[in-house]
A and B are shown apart, each in its own frame.
Chain A
Amino acid sequence: MSTRREILKAATAASALIASPSLVFAQAAPTRARTLRAVMHGDLAAFDPIWTTANMASYHGGLIYDTLFGIDSQYRAQPQMVQSFNLSDDRKTYTFVLRDGLRFSSGEAVTAKDCVASIRRWAARDGGGQHMFRRVTDTPVVDEKTFRIVLREPYPLLIDWLAKASTNVCYIMREKEALTDPQTQITEYIGSGPFIYNRTESRQGARYVYDRNPNYVPRSEPASFMAGGKVARMDRVIMENMADPQTQVAALQAGEIDFVEWPSLDLIDTLEKDRNIKLEVMNQSGTMGWCRLNHLHPPFNNVLARRAMLYLTHPTEVMKATFGNEKYYRGCGSIFACNTPTENDANTDWFKGGQNIDRARQLFREAGYDGRPVVLLSASNVQHMTNAGLLYQQWLRAAGVNVELVTSDWGGVVARRANRNPPDQGGWNIFFTSASGSAYSNPVALAGHASNGANAWFGWPTDEKNEQLRDAWAAAATPEERMAAARAMQENAWNYVPHVHYGQWLQPSAMRANLTGMIGMPELAPFWNVGRTG
C-alpha cells in the first residue's frame, strides 16, 4: 500500500513539474480558441457557496472545489474524491477513505480534517445537512485520509446528501476556510477542483476568470454530471456578467462569447435561424414557478380560499405569456415538479380540470371572503414573476377578489415577504418565486416543502401530517417505500394547499455550434469536458 502511495506521490510531483511550464504560460492569457466565454443567468455576487444558496456561487464552487461524491446522470451518488467507503453492520457508522493525489491549488494535500470541517460547515446551512446532523453523534478523523460519520440511527440519505448538486452543495474546502463561522463569508477561494479561480484577472460584477488546474488528477471514468473524470479541456473559462438580453444574443451571434445560459426565450427564434448557434436544454428537470400563499392572514388562513387558488390558476398561461414557444414549457400538477424522480399524480383532479374561475369564486365565497384587498408582491426585474403578477391580478378580479398589486424589484420582494404582519401593515398575501425542478423534487432539502408553522419558510404553513410524511420519506429504506411516502405527501398537500404552481419551463441554453461535450445538468454548470472543434 505504502509503496503504491510513494509511486503515486512521485507521479504527482512529476506531473507538477511537467505542468509548471503551462503555469507560466497561464500568466499570458490563453488563446481565444482555448478560452470558453460564458454568460450565465446572473452575477456571481458572493463567492461562498455555503454562506449563500445562490446558484451562481454554487457554479463557482463546482469549478474550483471538488466533492466527496457526485451524482451521475441517473441521479445516483458516485464516489468522486472518495476512493472507497463502507457502512457498518448496524448501518450507523460510515467510513470514508480519500483518493490519492488530491491536492488544493495552494499546494497542500487534501486531508480527512479538511473534509470533516467542510461537512460540518455545510451541514450548519443546508436543509438536508441539518436534517441529517440531527442524527449525527460524531465525525472522528482516523488518519490523514480516513474519517467517519457516526449516527444515532440509520440515515439512508447520507450519501445522497453529500452527492447532491442542488444548493448548498457539500464542497470540500481547506480546514482553514471551513472553520469560518457559517454565517460569515470566507475570504479565500482555494479548492482542489479542476479549475483555479484567477482573482487578479477577474473583475467583480463584470467577469470571473478560471484557469485550468494543472495539478488536478481526474478520475478515470467518463464524465457524467458531477461524477466521473473532470477533465478540463479549456485552459480558461470566463463567466461574463452581461445584463442585457438583447446584447447577450447579439454578442453570441457575433462570436464574441460562446455560451449564453439563459437567453431570453423571446430571442430564441432569432437564434434557431443561425447556423453557428445550437440550442440545448441543460436542465431537463426544468424550473418550477410557484405562487406562495400566506397562511397567517385572511383570506388564505382559510383552507377553502387556498383551494380556490388551485382552480383559479391557469396551468400554462403565465408560461405562454413569458416563453411563447410551447416546446419549452408545460403545466405541472405534481407538488414535486414534473420529469423528476418524485413526480406523481396523487390528488390532481383539480389540475386535470384546468382553470375554473367559477369554482374559485364559489370557494372564495364559502371561505367567507370579505372584500379586503389581497396583496400580491411582484418583482419587476424578473419577467415570469411580473407576468404572473399581472395574470393573477386579472384572474383574482374575475373571481370577485380585490387585488393590490405591489411592484418592486426582487430585492424589495425578499425584504417584504419576511414581514409577518397583516397585509395592510406591511405584510402580504401572495408572492411568486421559482426553484429548479430537481431542488423542488426533494421533500426534505427544499425549505418550501416544510409546514412547521412559525419555523417554516415564508408563508408559514402548519401541517402536522406533512412533517411526519417528510420524515417518513427520509427514513424510507427502499425506493418503493420512498415513492409511497412522496405520493402520500402530495395527496395531503393538495388538500391543505401550502402553495400553487404557475408552470414549469425548460430553459434552453444557446452556444456556438462548434462547442462539444457540454454537460447539461440541473443546478450546476460543469465547464470541464467542454472542447471546441475547428
Chain B
Amino acid sequence: MLAYVIRRLFSTLLVMAMVAVFVFLLLHLSPGDPAAIIAGDNATPEAIDGIRQKLGLSDPLPVQFIRWIGHVLQGDLGVSIFSNEPVLKLVGQRLEPTLSLALTTLVVAVTLAISFGVLAAWKAGTWIDRVLMVISVVGFSVPTFVVGYLLIYLFAIELRWLPVQGYTPMSEGLDGWARNLVLPSIALGLAYIALIARITRASMLDVLSEDYIRTAKAKGVANESMLLKHALKNAGVPIVTVIGIGVALLISGVVITETVFNIPGIGRLVVDAIAKRDYPIIQGVILIFSGVYVLVNLLVDLTYTVIDPRIRY
C-alpha cells in the first residue's frame, strides 16, 4: 500500500513535468505578445520591443524555459508579467471562492444525484425512473451559461431572493457566503447531477441483477435497508470513479460559472491571463490544476480500498 502510494506520487511528478513542458511550448510557440498588450494601443513598435527585452521575452526559448522551471523547482511560480504580483499570491487570493463553489456544488450534486440514481434504479421502468432520467438528460443538454442567465433572471432580478453576482468571503459571515453560492452551485451542479445520477442508476441496476441480490430478494429479505447496504456499497466503485472524473468537469464548469456570476476565482484568473498572454499565471495555474487533478484521482483510487475491500494495491 505505502509502496503503491509512493509510486503514484512519483508518477504524479512525472505527469506534472510533462504538463509543464507541454504548456510552456503551447504558450511560447503560438502567436501573442504580452509586451504589445502592456504597452497599449498607442505605443510605437520600439516601445514594445523595449518592454519585451526587459521582460526577457526576447531570449531563446530554452533559456526562458530553464529560467522558469528552475524557479518552479524552488516552489516559485514567478510573478505576473502585468501586475508584478507573485502567481502563488494571486492563486491564494482566488482559492477560497473557487474551492467554496466547487465543494458546495460537489456536496449538493452528489447528495441529490445519488438519491435520484438510487430511486430511479429501485423504481426502474416506472414513470418515476423515466421522469428522473429525462430530467437528468435535459440537465446534460443545456449550456451552463444559459442555465445561469435564467437563474439570475428569475431569482435575482424578478424575485429578488438572491444576489445577482459576486462572492462574500466566509470570514464576512456564513449567511452572505451561502447566499452568493446558491445560484452558481445550482447552475454548475445541474450537469454534474445528471452525470452522477445516470451512472448511479446504471451501476445500481447492475448490482441489483447480481445473483446474491436476486437470492436475497427471492428469500424475501429485500427492503430499503438491504438495497442501500448491499447495492450501494457495491455500486460505490464506479460512482467514486465518476466523481473523480467529475472533478475535471467541475474545473471546466467553474470557469464558465465564475464568469456568469462574477466570482473572483481561479477560473477567471486564468481566462483573463490567457487573453492578456500573462504566461507565468497561465503556466502556474494549469500546473496547479493538473496537480490537484492527479492527487484527487489518487485519493479516489485509495477510496476504492475502503469501499471495496476486495481491491488491494
A/B contact in complex, CB under 8 angstroms? yes
Q: Which of B33-41, B190-198, B204-212 contacts A (4 or more CB under 8 A)?
A: B33-41
Assuming the A-B contacts A46-B38, A52-B38, are A256 and B43 also in contact, with contact meaning beta carbons closer than 8 angstroms in the complex? no
Give A235-260 as 1s and 0s: 1 = Cβ < 8 Å from B's Cβ atoms: 00000111110110011011010000
- State which of A240, A241, A254, A410 has its C-beta within 8 Å of the C-beta of B157: A254
Assuming the A-B contacts A45-B83, A207-B264, A411-B32, are A435 and B164 also in contact, with contact meaning beta carbons closer than 8 angstroms in the complex? no
Q: Which of A11-19, A182-190, A329-337 contacts B (4 or more CB under 8 A)?
A: A182-190
How far, in angstroms, from A205 to B282 measured CA to CA in the complex? 14
Assuming the A-B contacts A184-B54, A187-B84, A242-B262, are A254 and B45 also in contact, with contact meaning beta carbons closer than 8 angstroms in the complex? no
Are the C-beta atoms of B275 and A205 separated by less than 8 Å?
no
Residue A408 at the chain B interface, CB threshold 8 Å: yes
Give A36-50 as 1s and 0s: 1 = Cβ < 8 Å from B's Cβ atoms: 000000010111000
Are the C-beta atoms of B165 and A247 separated by less than 8 Å?
yes
- State which of B40, B44, B262, B264 has its C-beta within 8 Å of the C-beta of A54: B40
Are the C-beta atoms of A53 and B50 separated by less than 8 Å?
no
How far, in angstroms, from A448 to B40 measured CA to CA in the complex? 13
Give B243-276 as 1s and 0s: 1 = Cβ < 8 Å from A's Cβ atoms: 0000000000000000111101000110010111
Are the C-beta atoms of B259 and A243 separated by less than 8 Å?
yes
Give B41-54 as 1s and 0s: 1 = Cβ < 8 Å from A's Cβ atoms: 11111111011011
Residue B82 at the chain A interface, CB threshold 8 Å: yes
Shortest distance between the CB of A128 and any CB in chain B (Å): 11
Which residues of the partner chain A approach B275 to less than 8 Å between Cβ atoms?
381, 409-411
Residue B177 at the chain A interface, CB threshold 8 Å: no
Residue A206 at the chain B interface, CB threshold 8 Å: yes
Which residues of the partner chain A approach B50 to less than 8 Å between Cβ atoms?
183
Give A163-192 as 1s and 0s: 1 = Cβ < 8 Å from B's Cβ atoms: 000010000000000000101110100000
Residue B19 at the chain A interface, CB threshold 8 Å: no
Are the C-beta atoms of B152 and A411 separated by less than 8 Å?
no
Give B150-171 as 1s and 0s: 1 = Cβ < 8 Å from A's Cβ atoms: 0011001100100111100000
- State which of B84, B259, B264 has its C-beta within 8 Å of the C-beta of A185: B84
Assuming the A-B contacts A204-B83, A446-B42, are A183 and B264 also in contact, with contact meaning beta carbons closer than 8 angstroms in the complex? no
Which residues of the partner chain B approach A414 to less than 8 Å between Cβ atoms?
33, 36-37, 41
Shortest distance between the CB of B158 and any CB in chain A (Å): 11
Which residues of the partner chain A approach B278 to less than 8 Å between Cβ atoms?
45
How far, in angstroms, from A51 to B84 measured CA to CA in the complex? 13
Are the C-beta atoms of B152 and A247 separated by less than 8 Å?
yes
Are the C-beta atoms of B85 and A204 separated by less than 8 Å?
yes
Are the C-beta atoms of A127 and B42 separated by less than 8 Å?
yes
- State which of B37, B262, B272, B274 has its C-beta within 8 Å of the C-beta of A251: B262
Shortest distance between the CB of B128 and any CB in chain A (Å): 36
Which residues of the partner chain A approach B115 to less than 8 Å between Cβ atoms?
none
How far, in angstroms, from A47 to B80 measured CA to CA in the complex? 12
Which residues of the partner chain B approach A47 to less than 8 Å between Cβ atoms?
83-84
Residue A477 at the chain B interface, CB threshold 8 Å: no
Residue of A nearest to B163 (CB): A256
Are the C-beta atoms of A203 and B53 separated by less than 8 Å?
no
Which residues of the partner chain B approach A68 to less than 8 Å between Cβ atoms?
none
Residue A399 at the chain B interface, CB threshold 8 Å: no
Shortest distance between the CB of B45 and any CB in chain A (Å): 6
Most buried by B among A167, A418, A435: A418
Residue A365 at the chain B interface, CB threshold 8 Å: no
Which residues of the partner chain B approach A206 to less than 8 Å between Cβ atoms?
93-94, 264, 268
Are the C-beta atoms of A408 and B261 separated by less than 8 Å?
no
Chain B residue total in the interface (Cβ 8 A):
51
Which residues of the partner chain B approach A243 to less than 8 Å between Cβ atoms?
259, 262, 268, 272
Which residues of the partner chain A approach B149 to less than 8 Å between Cβ atoms?
246
Are the C-beta atoms of B277 and A411 separated by less than 8 Å?
yes
Assuming the A-B contacts A206-B264, A418-B45, are A244 and B259 also in contact, with contact meaning beta carbons closer than 8 angstroms in the complex? yes
Residue B125 at the chain A interface, CB threshold 8 Å: no
Most buried by A among B38, B46, B85, B94: B38
Residue A125 at the chain B interface, CB threshold 8 Å: yes
How far, in angstroms, from A247 to B163 measured CA to CA in the complex? 11
Residue of B nearest to A206 (CB): B264
Residue of B nearest to A47 (CB): B83
Residue A96 at the chain B interface, CB threshold 8 Å: no
Are the C-beta atoms of B268 and A254 separated by less than 8 Å?
no
Give A194-217 as 1s and 0s: 1 = Cβ < 8 Å from B's Cβ atoms: 000000000111110000000000
Are the C-beta atoms of A250 and B32 separated by less than 8 Å?
no
Are the C-beta atoms of A46 and B82 separated by less than 8 Å?
yes
Most buried by B among A181, A256, A409, A411: A411
How far, in angstroms, from A416 to B40 measured CA to CA in the complex? 15
Are the C-beta atoms of B36 and A253 separated by less than 8 Å?
no
Assuming the A-B contacts A46-B82, A251-B166, A411-B275, are A53 and B156 also in contact, with contact meaning beta carbons closer than 8 angstroms in the complex? no
Shortest distance between the CB of A479 and any CB in chain B (Å): 25
Residue of B nearest to A454 (CB): B45
Residue B31 at the chain A interface, CB threshold 8 Å: yes
Residue B298 at the chain A interface, CB threshold 8 Å: no
Are the C-beta atoms of A204 and B80 separated by less than 8 Å?
yes
Are the C-beta atoms of A256 and B82 separated by less than 8 Å?
no
Are the C-beta atoms of B163 and A205 separated by less than 8 Å?
no
Are the C-beta atoms of B160 and A254 separated by less than 8 Å?
yes
Are the C-beta atoms of A415 and B45 separated by less than 8 Å?
no
Assuming the A-B contacts A183-B54, A244-B259, A247-B164, are A52 and B39 also in contact, with contact meaning beta carbons closer than 8 angstroms in the complex? yes
Assuming the A-B contacts A47-B83, A167-B40, A251-B166, are A205 and B48 also in contact, with contact meaning beta carbons closer than 8 angstroms in the complex? no
How far, in angstroms, from A60 to B261 measured CA to CA in the complex? 25
Residue of A nearest to B48 (CB): A418
Which residues of the partner chain B approach A455 to less than 8 Å between Cβ atoms?
44, 46
Which residues of chain A in 397-413 are interfacial with respect to chain B, using CB atoms and an 8 Å cutoff? 408-412
Residue B295 at the chain A interface, CB threshold 8 Å: no
Shortest distance between the CB of B288 and any CB in chain A (Å): 16
- State which of A46, A253, A415 has its C-beta within 8 Å of the C-beta of B33: A415
Are the C-beta atoms of B31 and A412 separated by less than 8 Å?
yes
Are the C-beta atoms of B41 and A53 separated by less than 8 Å?
yes
Residue B90 at the chain A interface, CB threshold 8 Å: yes
How far, in angstroms, from A414 to B37 measured CA to CA in the complex? 7
Residue of A nearest to B167 (CB): A206
Are the C-beta atoms of A250 and B152 separated by less than 8 Å?
yes
Residue A374 at the chain B interface, CB threshold 8 Å: no
Are the C-beta atoms of B43 and A250 separated by less than 8 Å?
no
User: Told that A410-B275, A447-B42 touch, could you supply 7 new A-B pairs with CB distance under 8 A?
Assistant: A205-B269, A247-B260, A250-B153, A253-B164, A409-B275, A411-B37, A414-B36
Q: List 17 A-B contacts (CB under 8 A).
A: A53-B41, A167-B40, A205-B90, A205-B272, A242-B262, A243-B259, A250-B156, A251-B165, A253-B157, A254-B164, A411-B274, A414-B37, A415-B33, A415-B36, A415-B277, A447-B42, A447-B44
In the A-B complex, the 4 residue pairs with the closest CB atoms = A53-B40, A206-B264, A414-B36, A415-B33
